[in-house]
Structure 1
Amino acid sequence: MENRVVRMNHNSHLLELEEYMYQLVDVDKPNTFRNLFPYDEVPKIAFNDRIVPHHMPHQIWITDTTFRDGQQSRAPYTTEQIVTIYDYLHKLGGPHGLIKASEFFLYDKKDRKAVEKCLDRGYRYPQVTSWIRASKKDFELVKSMGMRETGILVSCSDYHIFYKMHMTRRQAMEHYLTIVKECLEMGISPRCHLEDITRADIYGYVIPFCLELMKLRDQYGIPIKVRACDTMGFGVNYPGAVIPRSVPGIIYGLMVHSGVPSELIEWHGHNDFYKAVSNSTTAWLYGASGVNCSLFGIGERTGNTPLEAMVFEYAQLRGTLDGMDTTVISELAEYYEKELGEKIPPRTPFVGQNFNITRAGIHADGLLKNEEIYNIFDTEKFLKRPVEVAISNTSGLAGIAHWINRHYAVPEGMVIDKKSDIAMAVKAWVDDQYENGRVTVISNNEMYTVCDLAMAELGKRLERR
């Protein structure tokens, strides 16, 4: 205690005692945290009520893993598809490049060709980066492609170190540091992917390893990024939860005990326990500048943090989109469905077919009176998706009236509401359908036909929008 330095913290403006320097604990047997992760039981969330402070960085951003983790879980993209999606990401990120980087495999000719074509675009953002395993053979690919930054897989839990790599902690650390040094010698910025961090010994391995990384950063004067990878989705954002499951605790440890600055910390989440979005937002709140995502959450098993979700998390936290073009999200969803054959689940927020469609008559009645009652925001403005009503047996007159107002150009002075004779005529047809055993929603084409017939019988005419 008496030998530890007292210094000024320029964030809190308080004198503080230099943090304890954690040393590597090189165990003989793996620590698999069986008290938290008994394989034959549901994992446990334990608490010690140690609370760490919020530390929202001055700048936050999104990085993309669509072409790496995202591609691992689907049919491979063609070179042309990769370049098209990359163009969309550039447009989505806006003039400030808030989609800061995207990562690519380098293992086959198709991937390398895609990297070359994306680099030829000349965009500042998203920066084109690569991903490799911690091997000299993989590093040769990085050198040959002239990459400025590469991700390096540095698995950090004893599950991986002992059972997959068959090494000790010290052997793994030395192996990783060798590859990192080779990157630095070539002037390449390493991004260390701490795989399975939410089952790792944070103070016995992760923090000592990151301390060594920061020493190399100081020695070479080249940024070394640290990506905290919640590989199995075990992370939780609850205040007072114990590490290694605590997202706040992990980010705090990396910043305070390893000295990794916010701008060099990224969070990479998985959705195994439905926490990918909340954990990514938590990482921002507690000090990580970057969150790593994939489009529509497409990724291993249950997927990654959806990139589009974090765009709207950013806007809610900052109070502005800072130039991000959210209408591109809808363009991307359409591209994925029409060009790639990707079926986006209809209830997916922001992009699913039904995300802003209501079938309930009572909700449709609210929409008729004021759209804000049952719509999250102006979805037409931000996503080019006006709020809609789908017609079924529960839609009622209000739902039918709203549908007509949305799909026909109703002139000023004419009111289509629950009392409209057109709406009542259409409702009679809808009721008859379900009384005779129909179980499916009425399609838009059917609605157009029935509305046109009803108007003709009533001597009225409206133009379709």
Structure 2
Amino acid sequence: MGTAERINSSQRTLPYVEIMDSTLRDGEQTNGVSFLPHEKLMVARMLLHDVNVDRIEVASARVSEGEKEAVRMICRYADQIGKLDRVEVLGFVDGHLSVDWITDCGGKVINLLAKGSLKHCTHQLQKTPENHIADIKETVEYATSKGLSVNLYLEDWSNGMKDSPEYVYQLMDELSSVSTIKRFMLPDTLGVMNPLQVIEYFRKMIKRYPDIHFDFHAHNDYDLAVSNSLAAVLSGAKGLHVTVNGLGERCGNAPMASVQAILKDQFHAKTGIVEDQLNGISRLVEGYSGIAVAPNQPIVGENVFTQVAGVHADGDTKDKLYYNELIPERFGRKREYALGKNSGKANIAKNLEELGLELTPEQTKRVTQRITELGDKKEIVTQEDLPYIVSDVLKHDAPEDKVKLISYVVSTAYGLKPGANIKVEINGQQYDGSAVGDGQYDAFVKALRYIYKKYLNRTFPILANYQVSIPPGGRTDALVQTVITWHYNDGLLRTRGLDADQTEAAIKATFKMLNIVESNL
């Protein structure tokens, strides 16, 4: 049987793959990342309820009182929805300490950290393998007596298989017969493996211990975490450990979205992951962690479903020539066509089509030239800029604004929430509104919402994303660029404002959005 046939055979027989997310434990070991207890709860809720991961590892035992409160909150929530057995806490071979800590939090699962290499056992613990095995058994017995389910990590297993396989087998020979250990979890702790080694070592483990449930825990030091995870599944691993956005120590862990997509598309494996929630959990963790997702990060990066080259947009109109199985709607996203110097007529035509604007070929050519000129100057052009560019190019004035800001005052005071008082004109009629909010812009928008609800009885678009930056090519004292994305008519509307003041830039972007909405009524 050839390689391709073996892979196809594996595809037909691949079992369900458990996904264990370790964002709240291993992901928090990313330099500079520390989640507050309520943030941990929000992430855990979304992972369990919306994303539907099989398990979550939420903390290490005995870290701090704040960590203890976070674990208690998560366990209470998980118990309420009948998923407490999916919440796991890393514990240590420390007698009763970790077990007592976890049970005091209301936890039901301990992921016990043992040493998977002889070097770690003898140098870090300064114990013989026999002593370490005896300590593990004692801790497992105590955890079981306290009603905990036990999974066992073999830390540094990858180096153990490289340098001391006899130690790994000694450990497994003694512990695989302990029926209360539910899973053996095999980490590439230092991210040193390649897929061929993963296949070799996993097959040795499974041949020797065919009835054991093995998980694989990858690290990304050589940018092989996803590849190694898939190699593990092809070789018989029943569970994979991932983190949202690939957070983790050093170079991070295997990113959940990438693992899910390639498991399904390349190997037809089954998981419980709800794919259209992957972008949402990515944004939530990005916000809480403060670690920005790279724009070209597969599945969840800002630009990965944006066609830049005009030839690609042209191909998409001709039987979707540049599509693959990674359809953006599958992940709760939308395909976009960038506007810039590489756009070409096809990209612009796609954006005009979404706006309902029809131009002649000659007019489209002239608009394309203008956008190319702006791109050469590093100007960002959004879809919402198009009507104004079209008007300018065709020598027509842009339509007069139907929504105008007459005046506004925003204020802050120590110990008080910021407030806003505004006066706007909508279709020739002036309205006043005031509100307080969590920030100056938030107060301003709440005052606008008040006007739209009280006087116009209309729904105000919901803010989806808010980005502030210095325009490309600018300096620290240059203009502030604010790009705001809104949910509108089952789609997204993105507008941009420029000003020396961040709040003023955001207000300009907001009124640009409101005028687009009014023009479409």
**Alignment TM-score, normalising by the size of structure 2:** 0.67
The answer to whether structure 1 residue 450 and structure 2 residue 407 are counterparts is no
The answer to whether structure 1 residue 58 and structure 2 residue 6 are counterparts is no
Question: What is the aligned counterpart of 1:161 among 88, 98, 121?
Answer: 121
Shift of 1:339: 5.3
Question: What is the aligned counterpart of 1:205 among 150, 153, 167?
Answer: 167
Partner of 1:135: 94
Partner of 2:73: 117
Question: For structure 1, which segment, 296-305 or 340-349, has the greater mean C-alpha deviation from structure 2 after superposition?
Answer: 340-349
The answer to whether structure 1 residue 336 and structure 2 residue 285 are counterparts is yes
Partner of 1:285: 234
- In 2, distance between residues paired with 1:230 and 1:141? 27
The answer to whether structure 1 residue 108 and structure 2 residue 56 are counterparts is no
- In 2, distance between residues paired with 1:193 and 1:464? 58
In 2, are the aligned partners of 1:57 and 1:289 still within 8 Å (CA)?
A: no
- In 2, distance between residues paired with 1:403 and 1:59? 41
Taking a change above 3 Å as real, the CA distance of residues 294 and 338 of structure 1, as seen in their structure-2 partners, is closer
Partner of 1:433: 374
Question: What is the aligned counterpart of 1:215 among 177, 180, 196?
Answer: 177
Partner of 1:270: 219
- In 2, distance between residues paired with 1:271 and 1:186? 36
Taking a change above 3 Å as real, the CA distance of residues 188 and 337 of structure 1, as seen in their structure-2 partners, is closer
- In 2, distance between residues paired with 1:230 and 1:198? 5
- Secondary structure (helix, strand or coil) at the match of 2:321 reads helix
Partner of 1:379: 327
Shift of 1:387: 1.4
- In 2, distance between residues paired with 1:340 and 1:101? 17
Q: Which amino acid aligns with 2:36?
A: T
CA displacement, residues 244-264 of structure 1 (integer Å, 9 cap, x when unaligned): xx2123222332213442xx2
In 1, are the aligned partners of 2:55 and 2:88 still within 8 Å (CA)?
A: no
Taking a change above 3 Å as real, the CA distance of residues 354 and 448 of structure 1, as seen in their structure-2 partners, is farther
- In 2, distance between residues paired with 1:403 and 1:314? 33
Shift of 1:409: 3.1
Taking a change above 3 Å as real, the CA distance of residues 176 and 323 of structure 1, as seen in their structure-2 partners, is closer
Q: Which amino acid aligns with 1:326?
A: E
RMSD, aligned α-carbons: 3.1
In 1, are the aligned partners of 2:51 and 2:278 still within 8 Å (CA)?
A: no
Partner of 1:229: 187
In 1, are the aligned partners of 2:51 and 2:277 still within 8 Å (CA)?
A: no
Partner of 1:253: 204
- In 1, distance between residues paired with 2:290 and 2:270? 30
Taking a change above 3 Å as real, the CA distance of residues 405 and 203 of structure 1, as seen in their structure-2 partners, is same
- In 2, distance between residues paired with 1:451 and 1:61? 52
Shift of 1:455: 6.5
In 1, are the aligned partners of 2:17 and 2:270 still within 8 Å (CA)?
A: no
Shift of 1:441: 4.5
- Secondary structure (helix, strand or coil) at the match of 2:177 reads helix
Shift of 1:293: 0.7
Aligned residue pairs, count: 388
Question: What is the aligned counterpart of 2:351 among 377, 392, 403?
Answer: 403
Partner of 2:472: none
Identity rate, percent: 20
- Secondary structure (helix, strand or coil) at the match of 1:224 reads strand
In 2, are the aligned partners of 1:131 and 1:152 still within 8 Å (CA)?
A: yes
Taking a change above 3 Å as real, the CA distance of residues 123 and 313 of structure 1, as seen in their structure-2 partners, is farther
Taking a change above 3 Å as real, the CA distance of residues 445 and 343 of structure 1, as seen in their structure-2 partners, is farther
Q: Which amino acid aligns with 2:346?
A: A
Question: For structure 1, which segment, 294-303 or 278-287, has the greater mean C-alpha deviation from structure 2 after superposition?
Answer: 278-287
- Secondary structure (helix, strand or coil) at the match of 1:68 reads coil
Taking a change above 3 Å as real, the CA distance of residues 396 and 178 of structure 1, as seen in their structure-2 partners, is same
Partner of 2:410: none
Shift of 1:444: 4.4
Taking a change above 3 Å as real, the CA distance of residues 103 and 88 of structure 1, as seen in their structure-2 partners, is same
CA displacement, residues 102-121 of structure 1 (integer Å, 9 cap, x when unaligned): 33233322222222222222
- In 1, distance between residues paired with 2:344 and 2:230? 40
In 2, are the aligned partners of 1:293 and 1:307 still within 8 Å (CA)?
A: yes
Which runs of structure 2 are paired with 1:136-151 in the superposition (5 Å)?
136=95, 137-151=97-111
Q: Which amino acid aligns with 1:293?
A: V
Taking a change above 3 Å as real, the CA distance of residues 313 and 187 of structure 1, as seen in their structure-2 partners, is same
Q: Which amino acid aligns with 1:424?
A: K
Taking a change above 3 Å as real, the CA distance of residues 155 and 422 of structure 1, as seen in their structure-2 partners, is farther
Question: What is the aligned counterpart of 2:40 among 79, 82, 106?
Answer: 82
- In 2, distance between residues paired with 1:186 and 1:162? 29
- In 1, distance between residues paired with 2:190 and 2:109? 25
- In 1, distance between residues paired with 2:269 and 2:227? 19
Question: What is the aligned counterpart of 2:252 among 303, 312, 321?
Answer: 303
In 2, are the aligned partners of 1:391 and 1:400 still within 8 Å (CA)?
A: yes
Taking a change above 3 Å as real, the CA distance of residues 323 and 257 of structure 1, as seen in their structure-2 partners, is closer
- In 1, distance between residues paired with 2:113 and 2:181? 17
| Larger RCO (CA under 8 A, 6+ residues apart) | 1
**Alignment TM-score, normalising by the size of structure 1:** 0.75
Taking a change above 3 Å as real, the CA distance of residues 378 and 54 of structure 1, as seen in their structure-2 partners, is closer
Shift of 1:209: 0.8
Taking a change above 3 Å as real, the CA distance of residues 198 and 402 of structure 1, as seen in their structure-2 partners, is same
In 2, are the aligned partners of 1:347 and 1:354 still within 8 Å (CA)?
A: yes
CA displacement, residues 219-273 of structure 1 (integer Å, 9 cap, x when unaligned): xxx24311000011122222xxxxxxx2123222332213442xx2110000111
- In 2, distance between residues paired with 1:347 and 1:442? 19
Shift of 1:54: 5.8
Shift of 1:200: 0.6
In 2, are the aligned partners of 1:356 and 1:375 still within 8 Å (CA)?
A: no
- What residue ranges of structure 1 are gaps of 5+ in the alignment? 1-52, 239-245
Shift of 1:300: 0.7
- In 1, distance between residues paired with 2:14 and 2:323? 31
